Chain A
Amino acid sequence: MRESKLWALHLFSGAALVVLLGVHMVVQHYPTILSWLGWVEDDVRGFASVAARGASAGWSVIYVLLLGFALYHGLYGLRRILHEIWYSPAATRAVDAAVVVVGLVVFVYGLVAVFQAIPLGGAS
């Protein structure tokens, strides 16, 4: 893929992350503010609450999108920084390969974790 397309995808994934990660952060880290707004949930990080979100189709989709966009956006940014430091053709190829391998490994691991968490909703 042309570098300009990869870069455009970096911008798009960044904008998507502001929305998706914003929702994730508000739900996980701003519970008092949410309760003031009328959304009261006991212990958002308790097992029952975590298992219920893991079993929800909507949250599972958000988690997969978050994982994919965050990995792409983060690793593309890291790749550009590393290219600035090590800019020989051999080094850039090595960095590209490493970024793809790390990205795929973490994505598959996260994907398995998301799908395996679906039956937990009934275990709480």
Chain B
Amino acid sequence: MARPSSIEPRAPQGLRPRRLPNRLGVRGWVHAGRYPIERYLFTLHRLSGIGLVLYLPLHVWVTSRRLQGPEVWERTMATLSHPIFVVGELLILAAFVYHALNGLRLILGHLGYTLGKPAEPVYPYPVALRRQRPLTVAMMILAAAFIAVGIWEILVG
């Protein structure tokens, strides 16, 4: 018998819902309410992830153009030097850098690191998010630095 999840409401056997309804829907991604900055990082993580996964098949197709020979490849690269594609490249670079560094923070959190040990709830209450806030700040500073250098490389370097 499956162990009941602690977040599912208790209901008689047979009436137990298969899933909790997603009451807020997509609005819940941006409706932070009383949640802190990490809630907006979560939304940005999803948006950057969706952008990256949609870009991936396109990237595989573009890079496979090298199989058609040097002329086709150089023509493809010339097309990609159009300002619209350069802006797209910058967005993809920023999305990857952000998603990677925020993702590292999330992996550490998921595995239980950075959250601190359980402690007696004495006011002011220890909050896991507050404990890992320095990591959040460090990752965002790193992301900003890598994105800035990447923009400089693409536009100036």
With both chains docked as a complex, state the minimum distance between the C-beta of A123 and any C-beta of chain B, in angstroms.
8
Report whether B64 and A109 are in contact in the complex, using a CB–CB cutoff of 8 Å. yes
- Interface residue? B129 (CB, 8 A): no
- Nearest Cβ distance between residue B7 and chain A, in whole angstroms? 14
Find out whether the CB atom of A33 lies under 8 angstroms from the CB atom of B70: no
Number of interface residues of B (CB under 8 A): 38
A22 to B96, CA, bound (A): 9
Main secondary structure of the interface of A (DSSP, over half): helix
| Interface contact B67-A116, CB-CB below 8 Å | yes
Interface residues of B (CB under 8 A from A): 18-19, 21-22, 25-26, 46, 49-50, 52-53, 56-57, 60-61, 63-64, 66-67, 69-70, 73-74, 77, 93, 96-97, 100, 103-104, 107, 110-111, 149-150, 153-154, 157
Query: Are B100 and A87 neighbours in the complex by a CB distance under 8 Å?
Result: no
Which of the listed residues A11, A30, A33 has the most CB atoms from chain B within 10 Å of its own CB? A30
Minimal Cβ-Cβ distance residue in B for A17: B100
